[in-house]
Amino acid sequence: MKQSQSLLENLDPRSKILSFLAIIFCMVLTPITRLKDFELYFLLILILGFLSKVTPVQVLKKVLILIPFVLFIALFVPFLKEGHECCSIQIPGWKLSITHEGIWTFLNIIIKSGLSILIMVIASATTPFADFLKGLGLLKIPPLLVMIMSFMYRYIFVLLDEAKRLMRARSLRFFGHHYKEQFRAVGYMIGVLFIRTFERSERIYHAMVVRGFAGEIPAIQRFRFSSMDFLFITGIIISLLFIVSGVIYKIEHTKIIHFHLWLGL
């Protein structure tokens, strides 16, 4: 039996693209020192995750693929960033210093990219790539850019298959000698793959031309902005305004004043 679609899956891709981009934009612009804001962003993403019906395991699997890349970039920052030293590691003849500024930058990269990855995972799990491309097209993203993304998505697997076949053909005739020669063989393979790709692109272009291609790929308009889309976007905007305006800090501040007043009484 087919599982019923989640709320996010039923939304127009345009509303998802706009909302998710708005969240990422606000997150990136929020100073890392406002850590409470990031707790709220995380809460908002959790709610989106709940609305998407994506299981935590699915999310975790995809996050674990992407996080190492971010970690690799961020790992050296605490040691390289100049600033006030907070601690150091002594190695004979060498001193590795960790700075306060470095730690904040590290947190900045890890938290913001981690949350952005979570949003991307939810977006990709609830929007088929074909719909995502159509959404971009409808949002007036340059058609050439959308076309390049579309072809990349369509032909990346075809190219991978082609590359695998070449690799297999090489490995069947490789018996573990002349390792240096293998570099040459890999070079040839890259060349062959390029030529085949070029020739394929010509054939695809011909197939497009004979069906009336004149510079743009038209698409059937299948999407319609519903009241649910308006509600979703409005909800996201209100949430972001709530976070960005710093209302949470004002509430806390008021609580503290009230607490002091109570103590005074």
Partner 1 sequence: MAGIIKISNLSYHYPDGTIGLNDVSFEVEKGETLVIVGANGTGKSTLFMNLMGVTEGNGHIEIMDMTLNKGNLKRIRQEMGMVFQNPDDQLFCPTVLDDVSFGPLNLGWDSTRVHNASHQALAMVGLESYGSRVSHHLSFGEKKRAAIATVLSMNPKILLLDEPTSGLDPRSTSKFINILYTLKSQGKTLLIVTHDIFLTQEIADRVLVFSEEKRPVAVGNYNDILSNNDLLLKHNLVHQHRHRHDTLVHEHEHRHGYGHEHQ
Name residues contacting partner 1, limited to 4-43 (CB under 8 A): none
- 237 lies in the binding site for partner 1 (CB under 8 A): no
- Residue 45 · residue 122 · CB < 8 Å: yes
Distance CA 64, CA 66 (A): 6
Does position 90 interact with partner 1 (CB under 8 A)? The reply is no
Contact pick of 2, 173, 177, 203 for partner 1 (by CB under 8 A): 203
Q: Quote the CA–CA distance of 81 and 76 in Å, as a whole number.
A: 9
The nearer residue to partner 1, 175 or 198, going by C-beta atoms, is 198
Q: Which is nearer to partner 1, 218 or 235 (CB)?
A: 218
Of residues 220, 261, 263, 265, which one binds partner 1 by CB under 8 A?
Answer: 220
Tell me which residue of 41, 8, 194, 192 sits closest to 111, measured CA to CA: 41
Q: Which residue has the tokens 């850019």?
A: 145
Q: Using alpha carbons, list the distances in angstroms from residue 123 to 49, 55, 147, 214, 234.
A: 9, 13, 20, 32, 18
DSSP, res 81: S
Site string for partner 1, 151-170 (x = CB under 8 A): x-xxx-xx------------
Q: What residues numbered 59-78 form the site for partner 1, per CB under 8 A?
A: none
* 217 sits near partner 1 (criterion: CB under 8 A): yes
225 binds partner 1 (CB under 8 A): no
Among the listed ranges 11-19, 33-41, 91-99, 125-133, the one in contact with partner 1 (CB under 8 A) is 125-133
Instruction: Supply the DSSP string of 231-245, one letter for each residue.
Output: HHHHHHHHHHHHHHT
- 171 vs 221, which CB is nearer to partner 1? 221
Whether the CB-CB separation of 52 and 8 falls below 8 Å is answered with yes
Which positions lie near partner 1, rule CB under 8 A? 129-130, 133, 150-151, 153-155, 157-158, 200, 203-204, 206-214, 217-221
